[in-house]
Structure 1
Amino acid sequence: MDYLNYTVGVTMTNHKFHNLFGEPPRQAEGKITQRELELASSIQKVTVEVVLRVAKTVKKELGAEYLCLAGGVALNCVANGRILRESDFKDIKIQPAAADAGGAVGAALPIWHEYHANPRIPTASDHMKGSYRGPSFSEAEILEYVNSADIPYQRLADSEFMPRLANILEQGNVVGWFSPQMELGLCDLGSRWIIADSRSPKMQSVMNLKIKYRESFRP
């Protein structure tokens, strides 16, 4: 932790990290060089190795059949895939708010079950029902906002919707989608999407640079 600054500031690394690797961090608008690519690759490799080692240790010491993951590292799909393939757990469960804010969910659970003695209620038919605890908007609220912002719109019959959407995507457009209640965490699980035609070789860059305002190498 001596080389990281994230827990006490707004940057990931500090001067010790920069001195160790010989250069200050790249500016957000700067060009991505081979140095940044190699750093990212190395950090990813070490992260996966550490996560897999921890998972195997938990399995060996506790003998549990299932593994639950939370926190920002649990959003690392490569590491999750390695755990699923290379550990002896029957399955892994990654809760939908698996990011820094997900700690609030973990803090709330023992209060609810242990201090207030509320029972655990298994839901055999819908294990991910708790994923959709984000905001929801009625049709009246949507229309009120659209009209107040003077946004042109067209209401479609159910039978028209999917063909129209497919045509818009085929033309190379990007579509924002939400219905009915949004997800609790950062991950898109079907209620809140930015969607486009993945057949276009340019679409990843378009999505990241023009829509999501982030680096082009992100998925």
Structure 2
Amino acid sequence: MIIHILAGGPEKNIPSLRPYDQKDVSWVGVDHGVYRLVNQGIIPIAAFGDFDSVTKKEWEDIRGHVLEINQFKPEKDETDMELAFNWAVAQNPSTIRLFGATGGRLDHFMANVQLLLRKESLHPSLKIEIIDTNNIIHIASYGEYTVEKLNDKKFISFIPLTADVENLTLKGFKYPLTNRNIPLGSTLCISNELIQSQGTFSFTNGILMVIRSQD
């Protein structure tokens, strides 16, 4: 099962959803993201939020199309995205992709990144990505990974999220590494590029944020 979640981030940061709207995908809307889905003819299987960012007409459209609406008071312990994310994880999907989760308020963006750092998010059977028009972000715990070259997002960065990422090795990259320890706060692995159709990265301890980007 693949679940795509659309939140209410700035429209300019949201890529075209049609390439991601495949028959094996279930959509979930968050707050104004629910209306955006409905407006594009994509009916989410569930909606979450306090819906304080939608107009009366948009709310009527949402209620007329979406069967499962989970409405909450603005005063709550979780963000709207967190509520939708928790629901998605409970469905035991193979993949969760978050759209509309970047741009605008930095506190919302950082909160969304924090969701990827949860223990359940790091389970090897679950792939989670944050996608916008210029970036694809995912979190990797220690292990070995293969990455494919993306012509539209040629830059790839590795950002340590723990005190030490140990023995990072990059193969097939313009700037290779062999068993290098990367401390928290290092910018050593920013803006690398693949020079082959695919490459590998591996490390023996720690957590990395992996960002595929375009200018």
TM-score by length of 1: 0.26
Q: Which has the higher strand share?
A: 2
Q: Which has the higher helix share?
A: 1
TM-score by length of 2: 0.26
